[in-house]
Amino acid sequence: MSYLILCDSCTDFTREMEQDAHFIRIPLTLHVGKDDIIDDETFDQKAFLKKVAEYPECPKSSCPGPENFMEYFEQADDIYIVTLSSNLSGSYNSAELAKNMYLDEHASKNIHVFNSKSASAGQSLIALETAKRAENGMPFSQIVKEITSFIDSMGTKFVLETLDMLRKNGRLSNITALLVNALNIKLVMTSDGNGQIDKCSQARGMKKAIAHMADAIMEDAVDPANRTLFISHCNNAERAEFVKNTILEKLPFKNVIIAETGGVSSLYAADGGIVVCY
């Protein structure tokens, strides 16, 4: 059976994924002031980060429409869709609407939308796990069952270099953000298991924050010897390698993959941010 994995563009593609025709990126649109930036292969990360840093208000993003997903439904027998957490974006609802509209007229079609309950590296890991099973010839229904279970067991952690985005979108007051930045405090964030963002810990300095993140991963990682660690970085490959080595000193993950953040992930992780899923 032929298959496609449609991923909204918060999914961070590796070079191998970009070259694999089974993976399709469905772009969100980023809004910085009057500028609309399509999060596709034309995305320029460095120019975008500079624009965001200079913009005093909170940039926005808008999700793809149902038609953006539907245009690929005829191209394979089995369609898997991986989206941002439904608590963070309308992308999941848009994909679900596309699926339901299509199934009204093509009831026998295999289409499933995975709510990643995560973002960035989490979506990438889900997409890769789905592809691995599809390549091994696993039936559609079994893949859906196993990936749904995988999502429920997946962990997400991220550490931020700057709190500007949290300040701009109202999650931190201006005074708190200024104090935290002045004290060089870095936040380690996590998912609460339902796709909502929660603070895990904090530390003074990035190296200590990464160590705290590794400790937190030790506490909730499920069967790391048989799992993949996926690290997404925003404009800091050296830091991603440091994160990899720090975590592997504590946990024997079977495989490690590192990718650079795309547009949506770069918007929220900000320059120097790291997202880890496992």
Q: How far is CA 136 from CA 19, 45, 65, 130, 264, in A?
A: 19, 35, 32, 10, 31
For residue 161, what are its two tokens? Answer: 């270099």
Say how far apart CA 192 and CA 200 lie, in whole Å.
9
24-78: pLDDT as tens digits: 999 999 999 999 999 999 999 999 999 998 998 889 999 999 999 999 999 999 9
pTM: 0.93
Please provide the CATH number assigned to the domain covering 156-277.
Answer: 3.30.1180.10
239-264: pLDDT as tens digits: 999 999 999 999 999 999 999 999 99
The correct answer on CATH 3.40.50.410 for the domain covering 3-153 is no
150-205: pLDDT as tens digits: 999 999 999 988 777 766 766 556 656 666 666 788 888 898 877 777 888 889 99
Where helices occur in 65-120 by DSSP H, the ranges are: 66-70, 91-103
Task: Kindly list the domain boundaries of the chain, sorted by start residue.
Answer: 3-153, 156-277
Say how far apart CA 148 and CA 129 lie, in whole Å.
11
Say how far apart CA 128 and CA 117 lie, in whole Å.
16
Contacts of 79 (CB under 8 A, 6+ apart): 3, 4, 6, 72, 73, 109, 110, 111, 112
268 touches 165 (CB < 8 A): yes
Neighbours of 249 (CB within 10 A): 10
